[in-house]
Structure 1
Amino acid sequence: MSLVMQAVYMFTLAQLVVAGPLAFCVIPAPVIKSSTPIQNVTSNFPWAIRRDGGGGGTIAGKHIVNFADTTTSNPEAFRKLGFLPFASNSIAIAGEDGMHVTDTGVGKYVGVKQMWPFATSKSPINGETREENKLNHRYAIWPNTNIVSACGGACGFTVSNVLDITISPYAENFLYSTLAKITIGNEGPTVKREAVALWYKYETNYGEYGLARARDGSNDIFLFAAPEKSFGMKVARVCETEIADKTKYLFWNGKTWAKNPPGALDSTANIFQYNEGGFGPGTGDIFWNKHLNTWISVFNDEMSAYSMFRLMYSTTGNILGPWSEKPIDAYKPFSCGDNKSNLLCSVPYNYGTHAYPDIDTTGKTLLLSWTYDGQQTMFSTIEFE
């Protein structure tokens, strides 16, 4: 082989190593064909349930959805207890359409069961008791991330933020994220916190934005992060069996997978860039779409009053991109600005925006959800051409 041909070969091979075998196949931009009317989440409980958060996944063939603060509007419980049953978080098993869920009840006066355990003296986790409630304080675990299938489909991993919330005055203080392993048995979902504290507030919170399985034949899981003012998406990877040990993680720094994470504001380490009016990606999901034959990311802006589902996609089919330079406006959800009634919203913006690709594994349609008015989960399904 001539020196010139060797040079060309080595350059091409280097490109494939970084970008993958689809590097030279340009993926066309997704086109949204239609959307369905809005529906509210419905539960098997006879009472209304107020909750926020979101993020789903499939475990043991069942689709489950994570929720954060959950209040069961049970009038009998209110008469007996003087308050409505409340849980810091909950998990529901969804039906085929993803919008009708089965909740698990607990207690003499039935409310939705809290699923994520706290590390206290009554329920220590790996010897940890740091989440004991203090005077005028309480802890909260607010899941708002998808669940990635693992254990050959028998379990799932997800990440949630743990916060210290003062009761009076109300304020929230992010402490750290926690990694959980979820299984499903005869009594419903069970949450085991594999790492009580995974990432602290001074670290980039990999996994907070979402998790996904690698598609390169490895047993790795990708964990995504969208740090505030980073205006883009970062990614780490780790073998499934070592996901609770962050010393085993590799981080994409814009050039290679490295042992040390890039700086939170290092935009060169982003797999895609996004800045819309000073807002970066808010809550959302990254996943492989079979119909589009590429990775896509669907999200809302960070707590923006202007509510819109944005879509970014890999133009090569590789997780590292290149990705689309501009977002696609995928769906305009109902928001408080659209509310023409006399009922004022207590929270003026939508949040907890998520996509549920497991509901239609063909990828032709995509179920979306968002939290409206801080307490109501709404759904709509978009269809791609």
Structure 2
Amino acid sequence: MLSLTSLCLATVFLTTSASPLSFLSNIKHAKRAVTPVVSGTPQLLGVALDPTWNRDSCTSTRVRKRELWTCRDSQSKTAFLSSTASWTNASSDGTPAVVNGVLPMYGTNNVNNAYFPVQADECTAPAGNCNNGTRYALWPDTRPLPVDVGTDGSMSLYTWIKNVHLSGLTELNPNPPTSLYRSDFVPTQPVNQLPPVTLVNEQFWPAGSIAFGDYGFVINSSTAYLYGAMNNTGGPALAKVAVGKIEDPTAYKFWNGTAWTTTKPGLNDANAAIKNAGTGGQGTFYYSEYFSSYVWIGAPAIGCNAAFQIATSPTPYGDWTNPSTFYTGVAGNASFCPAYSQQAHPGLSKNHGSGNDIYLTYTKVDAGSAGYSTPLIHVVWQ
């Protein structure tokens, strides 16, 4: 069985997406992109932490008055899961409820299977380990996409996950199929209950096709814009779908570089690639009314660092500004890959990222028992 360190390192080299990502109703396209400038010095507030779990690559999305977090490989004293989830609370002023340097994460995870359940044809739950030493690493690359489904406050939250099969750090099935999972939130659920998960379609996007939604999303009114990584084309591809039709793959339209079409681009279709919409590393898309722009924040590239870059665009399909570094966190003291998995958290920020601030996290790796942590940083814009 691979160690937690090896499994998390595989995340860095085998994924090209993030997380992570935001929604906002009734947003308008701007006429030009902008380059945000930091005001003052970003503040390290502490860490987001559930002391039960040593885990990495956490993303989050706003669910009513709380934040739902989903994380990758998670290890407790008795269990190892390929994914877990948690809640965090907000203070009365809407900011994250940090107490003595800790944003408490809570919620009851089922230790018999991952939060995004491993299926019978993906070897053994709860982490996808196979008898031959390989593993199905079902890692969420981006946070769940939230959709209102009732007047009572109920929500469906959608997550696309690539069905990656690994031998050590080698991917055995390049361009694998992508599963669609749905988490169902109902306001009457107990406070410690995590939204139960249903597998909508294990091969929502078939093998050999673009995994739209796995690289990120933005919701504009009733339309979801979904990004998917491509093969060495210089940017991701883009699809759109009505939020009420997310579970229907025939309802999607695709950007071909000049217009929307019902024809899906291929993984190597350079015409469909959107330059500078991310770097290929992990990150988060959202819309900012403060800048009247779509925003991507994330890692400068796939690799081991704690630098955060930003790019903006007046539309989901560009033109995007060149990504530029605006903050660099403190890496851990682990001998190899001491920091990765950069994410932005619009749900923690003013008006879902439409104010003059944003919260950031990344995975920090320290040697010994310290293991993995999730620093929480607050950035204010000029």
Q: Give the TM interval when normalised to the shorter protein.
A: 0.7 to 0.9
Query: Judging changes above 3 Å, is the alpha-carbon distance between structure 1 residues 114 and 254 closer, same or farther for their aligned structure 2 residues?
Result: same
TM-score (normalizing by structure 2)? 0.75
Asked if residue 301 in structure 1 is aligned to residue 292 in structure 2, the reply is: no
Query: Judging changes above 3 Å, is the alpha-carbon distance between structure 1 residues 38 and 211 closer, same or farther for their aligned structure 2 residues?
Result: same
Measure, in 2, the Cα distance between the counterparts of 1:173 and 1:93. Answer: 34
1:1-385 to 2 correspondence within 5 Å?
Answer: 22=29, 25-33=31-39, 34-37=41-44, 39-43=46-50, 45=51, 47=52, 49-72=53-76, 74=77, 84-96=78-90, 97=96, 99-106=103-110, 114-120=114-120, 130-133=121-124, 134-136=130-132, 137-152=134-149, 154-166=155-167, 171-174=170-173, 175-184=176-185, 185-186=189-190, 187-215=193-221, 219-273=222-276, 280-314=279-313, 316=314, 318-324=315-321, 326-336=322-332, 339=333, 344-345=334-335, 347-348=336-337, 350-360=339-349, 361=351, 362-373=354-365, 375-385=372-382
**Structure of larger gyration radius:** 1
Measure, in 1, the Cα distance between the counterparts of 2:206 and 2:364. Answer: 29
Displacement after TM superposition at 1:365 (Å):
1.4
Displacement after TM superposition at 1:210 (Å):
1.1
Query: Judging changes above 3 Å, is the alpha-carbon distance between structure 1 residues 226 and 333 closer, same or farther for their aligned structure 2 residues?
Result: farther
Displacement after TM superposition at 1:156 (Å):
1.4
1:11 alignment counterpart:
none
Measure, in 2, the Cα distance between the counterparts of 1:306 and 1:105. Answer: 30
AA at the equivalent of 2:122: E
Displacement after TM superposition at 1:172 (Å):
4.6
CA contact (8 A) 1:53 1:68 kept: yes
The structure whose residues are more often strand, as a share, is 1
Displacement after TM superposition at 1:170 (Å):
6.4
CA contact (8 A) 2:236 2:274 kept: yes
Q: Name structure 1 gaps, 5 residues minimum.
A: 1-19, 75-83, 121-129
Measure, in 2, the Cα distance between the counterparts of 1:139 and 1:26. Answer: 43
Displacement after TM superposition at 1:42 (Å):
1.8
Answer 1 or 2: higher relative contact order, Cα 8 Å, separation at least 6. 2
CA contact (8 A) 1:67 1:91 kept: yes
Displacement after TM superposition at 1:131 (Å):
2.4
Q: Give the alignment's Cα RMSD to 1 decimal.
A: 2.7
CA contact (8 A) 1:90 1:112 kept: no
AA at the equivalent of 1:354: Q
Query: Judging changes above 3 Å, is the alpha-carbon distance between structure 1 residues 36 and 190 closer, same or farther for their aligned structure 2 residues?
Result: same
- Tell me the SS of whatever aligns to 1:30: coil
CA contact (8 A) 2:72 2:84 kept: yes
AA at the equivalent of 1:379: L
CA contact (8 A) 1:304 1:349 kept: no
Per-residue CA distance 1:289-327 (angstroms, 9 max, x = gap): 12222110111133224542111101x3x2223222x22
Q: Name structure 2 gaps, 5 residues minimum.
A: 1-26, 91-95, 98-102, 125-129, 366-370
CA contact (8 A) 1:206 1:223 kept: yes
Measure, in 2, the Cα distance between the counterparts of 1:21 and 1:380. Answer: 28
Measure, in 2, the Cα distance between the counterparts of 1:182 and 1:89. Answer: 13
Displacement after TM superposition at 1:245 (Å):
2.7
CA contact (8 A) 1:58 1:156 kept: no
TM-score (normalizing by structure 1)? 0.75
Displacement after TM superposition at 1:53 (Å):
2.0
Query: Judging changes above 3 Å, is the alpha-carbon distance between structure 1 residues 177 and 376 closer, same or farther for their aligned structure 2 residues?
Result: farther
For these two proteins, the number of residue pairs brought into alignment is 320
AA at the equivalent of 2:79: P
Measure, in 2, the Cα distance between the counterparts of 1:105 and 1:274. Answer: 34
Query: Judging changes above 3 Å, is the alpha-carbon distance between structure 1 residues 234 and 58 closer, same or farther for their aligned structure 2 residues?
Result: same
AA at the equivalent of 2:319: P
AA at the equivalent of 1:176: P
CA contact (8 A) 1:59 1:155 kept: no
Measure, in 2, the Cα distance between the counterparts of 1:300 and 1:357. Answer: 16
- Tell me the SS of whatever aligns to 1:159: strand
CA contact (8 A) 2:304 2:340 kept: no
AA at the equivalent of 2:316: I
AA at the equivalent of 1:26: R
